[in-house]
Amino acid sequence: MKHLFSPYPIKGHTLKNRIVMPALASFLFHEDGSVTDEAIEHYRLRASAGMSMMIVEAATVSPEGIVSPHQARIFDDRFIGELSKIADVIKSEGIIAGIQLHHSGRQTSPRVIKGNPVAPSPLPCPTIKGKVHPLTVAEISQIVVKFGDAAERAIAAGFDLIEIHGAHGYLINQFLSRFSNIREDGYGGNIEGRTRFAKEVVQEIRKRVGNDIPISFKISAQEFVPNGLDINESIEILKILIDAGIDIVQVSAGNDATPEWICQPMYMKKACLAGSAYKIKQAVDITVMAVGRINDPVIAENIIADGKADLVCMGRGILADPAMPRKAKEGRFDEIRKCIACNTCMESIFRSGRIECLVNPVLGREKEMAIHSAVSPKKIMVVGGGPAGLNVAWVAAKRGHNVILFEKNSVLGGQLVIGSMSVYKREIRNLIEFQKRQVKRYGVECRMSHDVTLDDVLAEKPDVIVLATGSKPVLPSVTGINNRIVTVAVDVLADDSPKRLSTVVVGGGSTGCEAALYLAEIGCPVTIVEEMPKLARTLESITRKVLMGKLKEYGVDIKTGYKLTEIKEDGILLRSERDIFFIEAQRVVMATGNIPNTELYNQLKNIDADVHLIGDCLEVRNAKAAIYEGYVLGISV
């Protein structure tokens, strides 16, 4: 780690290492823009982790540039005192505090800003759609001034660095790209015209803050859309912006039409944008920050050692484990809880209005979910070694309880093991290994290959019984359901060497799609049959987009709008509103849902005991819910 933890100079500052936490939306702000206690603790905890610099999440420079009611704001002097609370806690930990200045442009909802979004051209956002207001030259000039005003407020609040958000399909990116800018005046056309707005923003900020404050510019160096930015064009843009006054570039990718390149899911390679950073580093003489799926300090070390970038941004990795930099420096790699790129963080801020994490249930709740020693230690019996059972076991044990965990299988992990079989989902195994290490670290006694009975419970005489027995597949009542060619998705995913057979997967939820991809990867001809018009409807949108692309890449045939009516010896019979259809198959995989496994609970209901149900045996959901419930019970039991 000698490269990753080497110092680096930036305009009057010396960074103690090469790790930067980039601006990541937490939305832990009140609707009036004031800072919550949760936001302060969120930033304080991560600032204490041993990185060198933290860039606070995007703060909008103008009311019409808001993307969420809970976004940070910096368009009025009243926000200076609020933001200074965050700057103070970051700097109190001895690191550089930056803040990102942002305007959404067309990439926001009229419901949020109470009007039509603004844009360089009359082209709506590809995802939000709806009418937009093309900016006049006078309005552009006003926004330039607002960026300057915001920069002054940031310095007044105590920040050491200003970052300009020029990426991800937001307003500045919209001007830079021919994908979103079809203007014919001085703010459109060639590179110089499309870069004019960004150039004026940089010049205005430099004029306001002076020459001693470092300015970073975040760019989507590749947009992966027709007429979108590519590396060569981005290099020319950056040369203009360097002359205007930027000192640092953060090399990102993607826009509103290609969000999978903004927040890359587990189906994409680690450090997938490091090559882009390297090409830019070879072409320009400023500090280059790499970003994108850098969730492992070993990967970060290699990026610096190979000269691909000067600094590495480790965002989601530090959300998953706030202490990652310190653990890496001390060589405690086995203790790192790695991000698995499930994109729960991205999904949660839009669905729940605040940031959450699958692997780290404490994220955004650091104070309320702190672990404290138990007042009176108890004997706790945990039945089930899946994500819920493992989490409650180690958290309770850390508090001082005597915890015994029973697992009916020979390995721990439950549904996580099954879910990690596809080559694209192997990172889930990092979570399994972390949970197993925590269980061992805090002295949980594990009894494997033990299917717990009522007699076992009575013999152990625990003070508390935690049932984390998971769920079991539910099968439809159709003719031929017991046919020899029928199996269930969990059994397929649990098989590390399934036979290469022509397969029909019945059920197009996330489990069915993952089973189909797993079989297609090894060369099986696969068809997915789904009664609804859309597959994987509940899956996080970015992950779903990439998963659908993988199914197409592997030639998986998809049939929606069909209902299973019969299973025969050589295939299945389907019916839609218009026709009856037969698909020949050597294997039929049922992925038609699960029901809670409450067999043991039904036996325990009549005994006098403190019994808790968590995870799928309470209600069938996902790993995030299971891990969260396990943690909550672990800190409260």
How do the domains of the chain map onto residue ranges? 8-351, 379-473+596-636, 486-592
Tell me which amino acid residue 122 is: P
Write down the pLDDT at residue 32.
93
Q: Is residue 607 scored above 90 in pLDDT?
A: no
Question: Which of 582, 609, 321 shows the shortest CA–CA distance to 457?
Answer: 609
Q: Is residue 350 scored above 90 in pLDDT?
A: no
Cβ pair 131, 124 in contact under 8 A:
yes
**CATH no. for 8-351:** 3.20.20.70
- pLDDT tens-place string over residues 19-36: 999 999 999 999 999 999
Write down the pLDDT at residue 296.
94
Q: Is residue 247 scored above 90 in pLDDT?
A: yes
Report DSSP letters for 600-612, one per residue. Answer: HHHHHTTSS-EEE
Mean pLDDT (whole number) for 99-104: 98
Mean pLDDT (whole number) for 532-538: 93
Q: Is residue 338 scored above 90 in pLDDT?
A: yes
DSSP, res 166: E
Q: Is residue 536 scored above 90 in pLDDT?
A: yes
Write down the pLDDT at residue 496.
86
47's CB contacts (< 8 A; 6+ apart) are 54, 89, 90, 92, 93, 95, 97
Look up tokens 């160096």; give the residue: 221
| Catalytic residue from among 170, 424, 562, 601 | 170
Distance (Å, whole) CA 562 – CA 574: 6
Tell me which amino acid residue 213 is: I
268's CB contacts (< 8 A; 6+ apart) are 260, 293, 341, 546
Q: Is 170 a catalytic residue?
A: yes
Distance (Å, whole) CA 83 – CA 74: 8
Write down the pLDDT at residue 331.
95
Cα atoms in the Cβ-side hemisphere of radius 13 Å centred on 544: 14
Distance (Å, whole) CA 282 – CA 304: 14
Write down the pLDDT at residue 421.
86
Cβ–Cβ contacts within 10 Å for residue 632, how many? 17
Q: Is residue 351 scored above 90 in pLDDT?
A: no
Distance (Å, whole) CA 563 – CA 533: 11
261's CB contacts (< 8 A; 6+ apart) are 220, 222, 223, 224, 253, 254, 273
Q: Is residue 577 scored above 90 in pLDDT?
A: no
Strand locations in 351-506, DSSP E?
379-383, 402-406, 445-447, 464-467, 471-473, 486-488, 503-506
Look up tokens 């399994």; give the residue: 432
Cβ–Cβ contacts within 10 Å for residue 598, how many? 17
State CA 304 to chain mean position distance: 24
Distance (Å, whole) CA 592 – CA 507: 5
Superfamily name with CATH number, domain 379-473+596-636: NAD(P)-binding Rossmann-like Domain (3.40.50.720)
Mean pLDDT (whole number) for 591-596: 95
Six-digit token pair at 106?
A: 């067309």
Query: What is the percent of the chain with per-residue pLDDT over 90, rounded to a whole number?
Result: 93
**What is the torsional sign of CA 9, 44, 31, 132?**
positive
Six-digit token pair at 357?
A: 């994490």
Q: Is residue 606 scored above 90 in pLDDT?
A: no
| Burial environment of residue 593 by CB neighbours within 10 A (0 to 12, 13 to 18, 19 or more) | middle
Q: Average pLDDT, whole number, for the chain?
A: 96
The pTM of this model reads 0.93
**Geometric angle at alpha carbon 276, from 164 and 223, rounded to 5°:** 65
Q: Is residue 578 scored above 90 in pLDDT?
A: no
**CATH no. for 486-592:** 3.50.50.60
- pLDDT tens-place string over residues 467-513: 999 999 999 999 999 999 999 999 999 898 999 999 999 999 999 99
Write down the pLDDT at residue 381.
98
Distance (Å, whole) CA 133 – CA 121: 8
Cβ–Cβ contacts within 10 Å for residue 4, how many? 23
Cβ pair 56, 28 in contact under 8 A:
no
- pLDDT tens-place string over residues 116-150: 999 999 999 999 999 999 999 999 999 999 999 99
The helix/strand/coil state of 146 is helix
Write down the pLDDT at residue 422.
84
- 461 phi, psi to nearest 5 deg: 50, 55
**What is the torsional sign of CA 18, 19, 20, 24?**
positive
Q: Phi-psi category of 129—alpha, beta or left, where left has phi over 0 and alpha has psi -120 to 50?
A: left
